[in-house]
Amino acid sequence: MNDTSPRSWHEDRDADGIVWLTLDKPQASVNTLSSPVLEELGAIVTRLAAEPPRGVVVQSGKASGFVLGADVKEFTTLRSIDAARALVRRGHRVLAALEQLPCPSVALLEGFALGGGLELALACTYRVALDDENLSLGLPEVLLGIHPGFGGTVRAVRTIGAVAALDMMLTGRNIKGAKARTLGLVDRLEATPAACRDAARELIERNPGARRPALLQRALSWPPVRPLVRRRLRAQVARKVREDHYPSPYAIIELWAKYGATGTRAYQAEADSIAALAGTRTAENLIRVFMLQDALKSQGKQSVESPQRVHVIGAGIMGADIAAWCALRGLEVTLQDREQRFIDAALLRVSALFAKRIRDSEKRAAALARLRGDLAGAGVAEADVIIEAIIENTDAKRQLYATLETRMRTGAILATNTSSIRLEELAQNLHDPSRLVGLHFFNPVAQMPLVEVVHAASSSAESIAKAIALARKIDKLPLPCRSSPGFVVNRVLAPYMQEAMHAATDGFSFDAIDRAATDYGLPVGPVELSDMVGLDVCRHVAAIVGPALGKPVPDLSVLDAKISARQLGRKSGAGFYRWEDGKAVRNASTRAPYLPSLALPSADVAKDLQDRLVLIFLNECVAVWREGLVESADMVDAGVIFGCGFAPFRGGPLNDARQRGVATCKQRLRELAAHYGSRFTPDAGWSQLR
């Protein structure tokens, strides 16, 4: 075989006359379809079309996977709709030429094939995939505020039918092995790389013809049927996101409804649509969020020993879920509590979680075997990381640390899952406070991606690096932050959630308060969020953060009454709302009327309420940035997006403040302060925010 390509693509022709095109983008850990990569491929395909081989196999030279997608960074350089359209049309031409080769082509898929990577595979005649746990196929462009742009809105429907293709594009969900085969997204699933190569040769030899969806699936794209399906799809999407917040899923529906994924006009319309979307603020902000996520992921690459053993103390909900997640991600875990009954209850919870997440019985058994109950705490001496997840009580934590410090092995770190207590207070009696860090997980652990990695002045750089390495080892996003009351996420949530209680005291219904927040684009309102966090936890954080920062503590009597009645929120079945099947039951008929007399004279009452909630939130984010709790404004945005779900389409709270206008935010805060009180006084950091 001879390598004839000097750059990203390597072209080899075997003895059977099959050309193997291997994409191995230089100086990159993953393959992406950048403009130079597409231009290279276009030149190769043009030459192959002139002198057709027996067949073509497209594969990756990266161990990480096939192709991650288009080069997202290129979208940040586009300056006009015309430039975006030209980029997309270039991709169209190259993949159309690949599809039209006068010989069969096979995409050999290992690991991921996402976005433009899957669109490249769909342009091939056949797809063969390695059937292992790393296989992940998807069209996640909607998560970036756009949609497939290299022909995917057409070829996906043509290959697997409207229902499956639209579901993939509208949700951004990835498809695994067996389901991909059932849908027809791949033609063959094989157990080994060698078997995949043999299957590719066999498909080229037989050339059985490309798969078509079943008749019923094709019928859904017929012109008389599409309007009916369109209405249903739009209604489903509208229940989750608003078109003015997230226009791309609506654009996907309209493309299919108008063109039925058929003909050259469908490709042209795709290019026009994605070019228009790429210039929207939503796409700009969602791409920013993608970059922030990459920045968090890039941490943990320091040359520290990768943790293998974790000992968790505290078998409550948080401790059990942290232990479960660590075991799920391959670590050896021991779980300790003061009584065996608490450990037994935790192991039952873990077993139920694994039953949902791991379908393969052998893999599920292996994960369960990695997690052991440890009443006596024997795992302390062997653990690389000890995670304390007991009650939020400073004295109790200090007493525990006194028993642990002499038993910990050399090089191990002690991590607390405290949600609000400063590390300086917890470290007072430690002989070696350099080993103490915070690993603050969020509830529910399995769903929330962020972990705050908290450090005090006494925490060593090595301990911080080991904590970050653990977070990345278990696929969490680490946010290094300085020890301070409430750290970052709870610090900024506290005034936001307290303002909801002020608004309730003013006469607004809980439902109206939550609607004001969700209308702004936040995933849940502050009242529902309080129920989700737990009213006991909310009260504890409020009592600590306010006084520690010199801010007034709101009236906590409502919370006290709920807690006394054991109405703690979702975990107890009732709080501010009643909860059924994990969802809040909200009765619109009980909404209290708005009270115009409490609003600013010139303000819309609903808008006034929304500004109260949002601007007090943004104001605290500015304070966190000014105080340097994290290294940059970008990290404030990243922490708040991934730690409490701040509306991704706004690109983060500080980014939102800039786009809204710093001067506008400051002026509005002054108006609110004059009317509602000093809690709205603009933070000094606004004058430095650019």
Check if the beta carbon of residue 500 is closer than 8 Å to that of residue 610: no
Whether 134 and 165 share a structural domain: yes
Q: Are residues 150 and 166 in the same domain?
A: yes
Residues 639 and 32: their CA atoms lie apart, in Å, by 27
Residue 303: the pLDDT is 63
CATH number of the domain within which 247 lies:
3.90.226.10
* Residue 564 and residue 434 in one domain: no
Quote the tokens at residue 649.
């389409």
| Amino acid at residue number 496 | Y
Residue 423 and residue 528 in one domain: no
Exposed e or buried b for every residue in 414-450, given b needs 16+ CB within 10 A? Answer: bbbbbbbbbbebbbeebeebbbbbbbbbbbebeebeb
Of 230, 261, 279, the residue at which a domain comes to its end is 279
| 463 shares its domain with 524 | no
Q: Are residues 500 and 617 in the same domain?
A: yes
Domain annotation covers residue 298: no
- Residues of the chain with pLDDT below 70 are 1-6, 301-303, 587-603
Q: Specify the pLDDT at position 76.
A: 80
- In this structure, is residue 67 part of a structural domain? yes
Q: HSE on the CB side for 427, CA within 13 Å?
A: 22
Specify if 427 maps to a domain: yes
Cα 207 off chain centre by: 40
State the helix-helix crossing angle for 489-505 and 633-644, rounded to 10 degrees: 60
Q: Give phi and psi for 429, each to the nearest 5.
A: -100, 5
Q: Say which CATH number the domain at 365 has.
A: 3.40.50.720
Residue 299 lies in a domain: no
How far apart CA 469 and CA 170 sit, in angstroms, is 34
Of the residues 454, 483, 512, which one is the last residue of a structural domain? Answer: 483
How many angstroms separate the Cα of 158 from the Cα of each of 166, 211, 298, 530, 618?
Answer: 11, 9, 37, 46, 46
Identify the CATH number of the domain in which residue 545 sits: 1.10.1040.50
Query: 505 and 443 in one domain?
Result: no
Residues in the chain: 690
| In a domain? residue 290 | no
Beta sheet of 136-138, edge-to-edge order: 65-67, 112-114, 136-138, 174-175
CA separation, residue 223 to residues 214, 226, 257, 581 (Å)? 17, 5, 8, 40
Confirm whether 514 is domain-assigned. Answer: yes
Domain residues for the domain of 563 are 490-688
459 in the same domain as 395: yes
Q: Are 42 and 97 in contact (CB under 8 A)?
A: yes
Identify the domain boundary among 483, 510, 535. Answer: 483
Residues 387 and 453 in one domain: yes
In a domain, 4, yes or no: no
Query: Do both 46 and 26 map to the same domain?
Result: yes
Number of domains comprising the chain: 3
Query: Does one domain contain both 586 and 654?
Result: yes
What spatial distance separates the first Cα and last Cα of the chain, rounded to whole Å? 56
Give the pLDDT of residue 588. Answer: 53
Adjacent-strand bridge partners of 136: 112
Active site residues: 119, 141
Q: Which residues contact 132 (CB under 8 A, 6 or more apart)?
A: 177
Q: What's the confidence (pLDDT) of residue 682? A: 97
Per-residue pLDDT, 591: 44
- Sign, CA torsion 393/397/398/399: positive
In terms of domains, do 76 and 224 share one? yes
Residue 12, pLDDT score: 95
Torsion of the alpha carbons at 521, 529, 476 and 63, rounded to the nearest 10: -40
Answer yes or no: is 289 within a domain. Answer: no
Residue 589: per-residue pLDDT? 39
